[in-house]
Structure 1
Amino acid sequence: MHAKADVTEEVLSVLRDKSSNQQLLDTLIYLSRLYLGFFVKHTPRAYEYVWLIEKIGDPRGKKILDIGAGITPLPIYLAYQGAEIYTVDFSEMHDWFEADRSHWFEWGYVDYQHVHANIFSYQKNILDMHFPNQYFDVIYSISVIEHMTAHDRRNLWNKMNKWLKDDQHLLLTLDLIKDTEQLHNYYLDLLIEESAIHGSIHDLKTELERGFKIKEIDYMKEIPFLEQNIDIAMLVGNKIAINHV
């Protein structure tokens, strides 16, 4: 039985029709329901997941960092494709794969190594993590960065630059307040900080420019069955080597 959080077949049929890669989306839906008990109802994920995997390309042999993973099929898919995945999520909601998954939804922490030996999971704040310099081939985050305060977000860029190999990809998706450039400034219906402090996609790009070259930004609007009043930005950056003190 699927979890209560599982998306309906009616919605999935529309998402499939609009997907750039229906076969990949169906694989993610299958893995998500098999291991997690649901495929997320938040419809942008169907597009964000496919976008991310297509931008990563061939994941075999790559070390990949997922910041704010939550409960998602992405690490599972990438591990089965031959990548080594590190998931970091500081959520206090801790679940186990051996437990009843009927209450599971997108938010929370799980140890994905119970699914695949190539996945290493940490229940910690990403700002408290320590990885070797130039360790990762890809760093990505799916709609998490905008849930950080502007202060924490700015402190994260330097860490990402240290951890990522030269000229390799930083992949971000970001929730924006609909029809604006402003970063969505709520976390689970709680205000993070005022929008003027939280910043915009322009502010984020300016922050990144010291350590990353922005290769592209795509926007997703008019997303089917989306209950939240948001748009999605999808950003690809390449690491620029800088001298770290």
Structure 2
Amino acid sequence: METRDNVEYLKREAEYQDTKVEKKARKNMDNFYIDAASVYRFKFRTELIGDLNGKKVLDLGCGKGYMTISFLESGAFVSAIDISPKSIELVKKNAFEIGKNDNLVAMVMDAHNLEFEDESFDIVIADGILHHLTDIPKALNEIKRVLKSDGYAIITEPLGMNWFLRFYCFVTPKLRSKDEHPFKMKELKLFKEIFPESRFYFFELTTLLAKPFIVLKMKKFANLFQKFLLKCDNVLIMKEKKKITFLQKMSWMFIVKAKK
């Protein structure tokens, strides 16, 4: 049974995500995100996902469907869900335009309550979705439920333990929804509790030093600077450790490969 608070949250989040699609909102924030460091992270995630040909994939919180279309073009059968009706409309339209609509099921759905049978998917992809949710343990258990016995999830989320990022979020509240909450250690521990075979990969520590140049529209210099800083990050945070280090906690983003 849905509580009044949960209904209000779903309505609020749907309206926020619809606004992003309808008005092409957060343009400045997108510029803040898309740079050499994020491109590196996207490529790393693609390699981590692996071959999608013939696989059943759940794109959890598909947004405008950039990844959905990429998955379809890679030969996957994709179920794309989002809380935003306008996002789902756009995903269906884009899939039709590339002739892949027969391989797509796109639905408005709450990530806390997945309307799929147990063991439906080979892979679940969630890119920056969980930190929008009100009950992360429930969502993770739902992901585990719909994964096949040998399936895995690739999940990307922001961390909220770096003072610079916390300050940035504090001074730019209009660039995100009321319900967003970047991950801290207690959320990271949840992965190990629900998916014991979780493997963590951390990104963007020193590369954050280049972000002000992006804001100042010096993107060419920022990208060159970041390519150097990526080498620093590779030494400081990107290599897997037995335990999550202090510097890894201070990074901006992480990817987890969670095997069922």
Is the TM value for this pair above 0.5? yes
SS of the equivalent of 1:69 reads coil
Q: Which residue of 1 aligns with 2:186?
A: 203
1:125–1:110 Cα change, 3 Å: farther
1:187–1:90 Cα change, 3 Å: farther
Q: CA deviation at 1:188?
A: 4.3
State the one-letter code of the partner of 1:231: W
Q: Does 1:159 align with 2:142?
A: yes
1:95–1:142 Cα change, 3 Å: closer
Q: Does 1:56 align with 2:49?
A: yes
Q: Which residue of 2 aligns with 1:15?
A: none
Q: Is the 1:140–1:171 contact (alpha carbons within 8 Å) kept by the matching residues of 2?
A: yes
Q: Which residue of 2 aligns with 1:119?
A: 104
Q: Which residue of 2 aligns with 1:134?
A: 119
Provide the alpha-carbon RMSD of the alignment: 3.6
Q: Map of 1:76-115 to 2, 5 A cutoff?
A: 76-94=69-87, 96=89, 112-114=94-96, 115=98
Q: Distance in 2 between matches of 1:219 and 1:70?
A: 23
Cα deviation per residue 1:222-243 (whole Å; 9 max; x = unaligned)? 255466x98111111111xxxx
Q: Map of 1:2-81 to 2, 5 A cutoff?
A: 41=31, 42-43=33-34, 46-81=39-74
TM-score normalised over the length of structure 2: 0.59
1:95–1:129 Cα change, 3 Å: closer
Q: CA deviation at 1:137?
A: 0.6
Q: CA deviation at 1:213?
A: 2.4
SS of the equivalent of 2:152 reads strand
Q: CA deviation at 1:52?
A: 2.5
**Relative contact order: is structure 1 or structure 2 higher (C-alpha 8 Å, sep ≥ 6)?**
2
Q: Does 1:238 align with 2:225?
A: no
Q: Is the 2:60–2:129 contact (alpha carbons within 8 Å) kept by the matching residues of 1?
A: yes
Q: Is the 1:86–1:120 contact (alpha carbons within 8 Å) kept by the matching residues of 2?
A: yes
Match of 1:174 among 135, 149, 157: 157
Cα deviation per residue 1:119-151 (whole Å; 9 max; x = unaligned)? 2111221223311111111111111111112xx
Q: Distance in 2 between matches of 1:93 and 1:166?
A: 33
Q: CA deviation at 1:156?
A: 1.1
Percentage identity across aligned positions?
19
1:125–1:45 Cα change, 3 Å: farther
Specify which structure has the higher proportion of helix. Answer: 2
Specify which structure has the higher proportion of strand. Answer: 1
SS of the equivalent of 2:64 reads coil
Q: Distance in 2 between matches of 1:190 and 1:153?
A: 16
SS of the equivalent of 1:213 reads coil
Q: Is the 2:197–2:259 contact (alpha carbons within 8 Å) kept by the matching residues of 1?
A: yes
1:92–1:60 Cα change, 3 Å: closer
Q: Computing the radius of gyration over CA atoms, which structure comes out larger, 1 or 2?
A: 2
- The unaligned stretches of length 5 or more in structure 2 are 1-22, 216-249
Moved segments of 4+, more than 6 Å: 3-7, 182-187
Q: CA deviation at 1:187?
A: 8.5
1:45–1:187 Cα change, 3 Å: farther
State the one-letter code of the partner of 1:164: L
SS of the equivalent of 1:209 reads helix
Q: Distance in 1 between matches of 2:110 and 2:48?
A: 26
Q: Is the 1:71–1:110 contact (alpha carbons within 8 Å) kept by the matching residues of 2?
A: no
State the one-letter code of the partner of 1:46: V
Q: Which residue of 2 aligns with 1:192?
A: 179
SS of the equivalent of 1:88 reads strand
